[in-house]
Structure 1
């Protein structure tokens, strides 16, 4: 029995030695969790507060201005012997400010010429699907920006596209 008491006494002593280390680890872990949670809450609050201030301080955005381009009807490139196909396009140019629109209007004949020259080189297969229309939009935007530089167009918008 004395051996059992010694073993039990040794176990109690071992628990006393282990217990402070486990409590210290628990306190450190809890402190770390509180620091992380507190830091995250502070960051979220400051980010939300900054976004609200930014939105309040930002001036209301002006609506874009649109410039009508004359309707265009061009014949498309085809293989010899095929029937002739035509492309009818109604376009609008989107710009940021009215003064940009006023700067573009005197250059509309140049813009129309550049568009027609490019459109006449297309095949009907170039316009298939949304990918073809997207490529056409990007190419027309690039060409109009080169023609009216230093003014810039945000986008070329299609009002109507008909391939016959």
Structure 2
């Protein structure tokens, strides 16, 4: 009789083991199924949101780039207000620089951008100009370095809009 109970116990243990394995497999399938369903719901919700009311930032920036590309190219000049700054004299007699420049651009939208960001451009110019010494402005090489530095600073301030050139209208060192 004890053998019958031993066989019965072994059969029950094998059945319990088989049932446990089946439940484990089924629960793993269930997890994968629910995860897939969740991914579909989130993806569908995002697609519906973007179609109905959400803005796609890449699309708007692409549209802006296309609008700028379609804008006719022309040569336009923007006059920066006259600036008067004291130069770095190192404790000697005070020296001043009076400068008037025009910025060359190739699109009307760049003029609008310049109007909006002009205080930033003037600030960048003045910070640089106040650190110059009279020796830095001597000769054509000094003028060229000044022109290149101002162009670099205005393009940094206006990024992504590009200024093609900085033109000196008036420059007086006293």
- The alignment's TM-score, normalised by the length of structure 2, stands at 0.57
Are 2:109 and 1:85 aligned?
no
Structure 1 counterpart of 2:21: none
Distance 1:159 1:123 in 2: 20
Are 2:78 and 1:67 aligned?
yes
- The alignment's TM-score, normalised by the length of structure 1, stands at 0.61
Distance 1:62 1:102 in 2: 15
Q: Secondary structure at the match of 1:153?
A: coil
Structure 1 portions without partners, runs of 5+: 1-60
Q: Secondary structure at the match of 2:163?
A: coil
Superposition deviation, residue 62 in structure 1: 5.0
Structure 1 vs Structure 2 CA RMSD: 1.2
Are 2:154 and 1:144 aligned?
yes
Structure 2 counterpart of 1:113: 123
Q: How does 1:1-164 map to 2 (within 5 A)?
A: 62-80=73-91, 82-164=92-174
Superposition deviation, residue 147 in structure 1: 0.5
Distance 2:154 2:75 in 1: 17
Distance 1:129 1:63 in 2: 32
Query: Cα deviations across residues 58-114 of structure 1 (Å, max 9, x unaligned)?
Result: xxx95411111111000000122x210000000111000111111111100110000
Extract structure 1 runs of 4+ deviating beyond 4 A: none
Structure 2 portions without partners, runs of 5+: 1-71
